[in-house]
Chains A and B, each alone.
Chain A
Amino acid sequence: MEFLSYGFMRNALIAICIITPLFGMLGTMIVNNRMAFFSDALGHSALTGMALGVVLGVAGTDLPMLLFAVCFALVLNHMKRKSSASTDTMISVFSSLGTAVGLVILSRGGNFSKYSALLVGDILSITGKEILCLVVVLAVTFLFWLFCFNKLHACSINKSLAKSKGIPVRLMEDLFGVLIAVIVMLSIKWVGVLLINALLILPVAAAANISSNMREYHLFSVILSVASGLIGLILSYYLNAAAGPTIVIVAAVFFAATFFAKPLFRS
């Protein structure tokens, strides 16, 4: 427990205990809704958001990143409804464009190294104030889940069916899109553009292997997510490696284990 003597490790530990259950919950719907690509694209768009902040000369990059991501999510949802082209293709186009625009602006004048931390993230640099912000996000997400999960779930299974039950399908989809955007943006600095989707998807996919209903799914997903986070963080301390990637590797091990344990749970 030597690592607990460092303030930054304590902060990181607390942050992990907030981010991972948040991702575990959110991920279940992302996986069920086949939105893995969507959240990935949002992560990439963080680069553009940051670039916008730099261009506009705003002091913090948080606000432009948030605003950009929310717009991005709503536009994507809109395009998905309008366009007959496959959703994957649409998202891919937006995602690559977002990344490219961000990289072009940020790398002008050879300055990119200043921002490259965004790619892998750094959980160890999180401050108390930022942790508080994450607590608020976790609370909001939980409330949203409490009141809207059923409706969202019905929409994800069949939109027409949800509509026939009087559920406001578009509103639900847009609220969920905005929620993902906000959460991805607020946690991307700590987790990194490259890994955020892995953290959203891997523990959830592992939970899906061994669950047969929504309650088990959420329970296992949150447990596996928190476990990967904690084990990964502590391992990274002793291995002297970056925290984010270590967490992802632990989550991947969990996925492999549950994948092979599947028959035991599904008999």
Chain B
Amino acid sequence: MFGSLEKKKRNKELKKRAGHLSERAACGLHCIKMEDIGVYAGKTPIIEHVNVHIHCGKLTAIIGRNGAGKSTLIKAILGEVAHEGTIEFRDMKENKVKKLKIGYVPQYLNLKKDAPVSVYDLFASCISNVPVFLCRKKALYNEILNRLALFEAENLIDKRLGDLSGGELQRVLLSIACTPVPNLLLLDEPVSGVDRKGMELFYRTIHNLKEKYDLSVILVSHDLTLVKEYADSVILLDKTVLKEGTPEEVMESPEFHEIFG
């Protein structure tokens, strides 16, 4: 009982913080349309004929077995691998096609545990051209501090990345992904390193984000319980979209049972 009270308090606090990020709450009038996405390794398809249509303010979870092409789809959206098909971001209020701004939270960092890289170093490298090896600009430092504060990570700014816990690192990465505010937030959920409590906090933060920001969220997830609780829609992927719909619809489908047993 005590725990849930604390949860609520924290939720409220997070919502309040997220409120500072953007005055514009999700309007549902922005949509991202992916049509006939296909990625091939030589002639072998990794994913093919993937059609996804999402609106702002929605959390879409992608689930599937290992090797189903979830990460490949993310890479295709990022433009990191060549793909067939089109990705279009449309503002239906003005009926215009716009450039899609993507925020990405990676699954892991390519970093040795004792590498001398602080949170500030990574953050500044991603969002500014002030060379991190030479100087630390006060204004930039403060800006980063503010962005971190939105995710309860301001006390981590001078810590080395290797010293962070899984949950702390995730909050830092989320903060980087949301600077500047993206239209689409892509999250590759870590398989390990974050405990249950950290994971729930992460999902709640994202939940609050999408309510306050004008953005859509795509989440590659391995935790079906949390997906059920927080996702607005679910895509079951296995080379192509096997099933999509609300969490209930997908998780009760024969396709889902065939894959997850």
Residues of A within 8 A of B (CB): 25, 28, 32, 34, 145-147, 149-151, 153-154, 156-165, 169, 207-208, 211-218
Choose one: B114, B132, B160; the contact of A150 (CB below 8 Å): B132
Q: Does A157 contact B104, Cβ atoms closer than 8 Å?
A: no
Chain A CB within 10 Å, residue with most, of B116, B128, B129, B135: B116
Task: Determine the distance from Cα of A146 to Cα of B129 in the docked complex, in whole angstroms.
Answer: 9
Q: Check: B254 CB closer than 8 A to any chain A CB.
A: no
Chain B residues lying within 8 Å of A25, measured Cβ to Cβ, are 133
B176 touches A161 (CB 8 A): yes
On whether A163 and B116 interact (CB within 8 A), knowing A147-B129, A154-B125, A213-B160, the answer reads no
CB pair A214–B132 under 8 Å, yes or no, is yes
- Please indicate the chain A residues that have their CB under 8 angstroms from the CB of B118 in the complex: 212-214
Q: Is B259 an interface residue (CB 8 A)?
A: no
* Contact yes or no, B116 A212, CB < 8 A: yes
B134 lies within 8 A of chain A by Cβ:
yes
Chain B 84-123 interface mask (CB, 8 Å, partner A; 1/0): 0000000000000000001110101111101111101110
What are 12 inter-chain pairs, A to B, with CB distance below 8 A? A25-B133, A32-B117, A149-B133, A150-B126, A150-B131, A156-B110, A159-B110, A160-B104, A163-B104, A213-B160, A214-B116, A215-B132
Decide if A153 touches B121 in the complex (CB within 8 Å). Answer: yes
- Known interface pairs A150-B124, A150-B125, A163-B80; A157-B117 also in contact (CB < 8 Å): yes
Residues from chain A with a CB closer than 8 A to the CB of B106 are 158, 160-161
Is B74 at the interface (CB under 8 A from chain A)? yes
- Docked pose: A63 CA to B78 CA in angstroms: 39
B133 touches A214 (CB 8 A): yes
Which of B104, B116, B129 touches A213 (beta carbons < 8 Å)?
B116
> Which of B102, B128, B130, B131 is A145 in contact with, Cβ under 8 Å?
B131
